[in-house]
Amino acid sequence: MTIKVGDKAPEFTLPSQDGTKVSLSDFRGKKNVVVYFYPKDDTPGCTKEACAFRDKYQVFTDTDAEVIGISGDSKKSHKQFATKYNLPFTLLCDKSNKVRELYDVPATLWILPGRVTYVIDKEGIIRHIFDSMLDFEAHVKEALKALKAIPA
């Protein structure tokens, strides 16, 4: 199954860096959601991407959106990463990579977990998909552009 723009986003529930369970359905009818999958906490590219989302976080909240980062790292790793870089958004632990597979996030060079961002509207419909392993800040720009195109 290949996920594309216009599809209903697959539902998931994962633990956050604080140990609370977070589900995509928690936001249904309330907020748009930017879900970004990234390879690993506290690595150069992932840190640039996370900090870019952090630096524009207020713009996301102003557009009625929540940002969620997902990787295979542990709660402890996520907590340290979020604390070290003062990340104001939720990081979710997908240790088994089940959600990554649900969202068809490809591996890079068949080994590195991919870097893909999904913009999901309040009704749970995927409005935009952006896949770039190396253009870290573009994930933020693309997500903001897609959010602005969603009717209020």
The identity of residue 39, as a single letter, is: P
Distance CA 152, CA 147 (A): 10
Active-site residue identified among 22, 46, 93, 126? 46
Task: Tell me, yes or no, if 51 is annotated catalytic.
Answer: no
Enclosing H/E stretch for 15: strand 13-15
Using alpha carbons, select from 2, 32, 25, 4 the residue that is nearest to residue 128. 4
Please count the CA atoms within 13 angstroms of the CA of 82 that sit on its side-chain side.
21
Contact call for residues 145 and 32 (beta carbons, < 8 A): no
Q: Return the number of other C-beta atoms located less than 10 Å from residue 122's C-beta.
A: 16
Q: Indicate which residues carry an active-site annotation.
A: 46
